[in-house]
């Protein structure tokens, strides 16, 4: 009976973290303040024959992360994707203006079984990005 209970307990455990996150994630850090950028609107699009089609979106949380950019079970397909960050609204909430009102980051996905993390470092006059992990 102990083995059955132990097996049942193992089977009912939550899936590993890698399986419980969306296939594309993002976060935003404000290098001007040295803190996560909270409440930044992020839109995720995929390019199709007819143009860009919105497939997801979210607002950054207190850690600057977008936990619901896509559903966890979203199935990626190869192609071009675009994350657009509404930086003008973020700075406007602080009573400030910025030089880049939107930051579109276009990237290509070939390996659909991989996780893609799109980080953005911003300040009022510039930005930087890289492929995260």
- pLDDT tens across 48-88, in order? 999 999 999 999 999 999 989 999 999 999 999 999 999 99
Cα distances from 118 to residues 5, 13, 50, in angstroms, run: 41, 29, 24
User: pLDDT tier at 20 (50, 70, 90 boundaries)?
Assistant: confident
Is the alpha carbon torsion for 55, 60, 37, 110 positive or negative? negative
In the sheet that 41-48 helps form, which strands lie side by side, from edge to edge? 51-59, 41-48, 79-85, 103-109
pLDDT at 2 over 60: no
Tokens of 60: 């950054």
User: What pTM was estimated for this model as a whole?
Assistant: 0.84
The reported pLDDT for the residue numbered 7 is 36
The reported pLDDT for the residue numbered 19 is 56
């Amino acid at each position: 009976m102990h083995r059955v209970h132990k097996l049942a307990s193992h089977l009912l455990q939550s899936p590993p973290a890698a399986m419980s996150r969306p296939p594309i994630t993002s976060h935003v850090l404000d290098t001007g303040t040295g803190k996560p950028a909270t409440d930044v609107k992020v839109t995720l699009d995929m390019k199709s024959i007819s143009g860009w089609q919105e497939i997801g979106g979210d607002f950054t949380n207190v850690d600057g992360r977008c936990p619901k950019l896509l559903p966890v079970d979203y199935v990626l397909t190869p192609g071009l994707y675009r994350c657009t960050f509404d930086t003008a609204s973020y700075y406007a909430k602080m009573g400030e203006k910025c030089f880049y009102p939107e930051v579109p980051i276009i990237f290509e996905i070939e390996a659909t079984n991989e996780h893609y993390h799109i980080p953005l470092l911003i300040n009022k006059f510039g930005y930087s990005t890289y492929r995260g992990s």
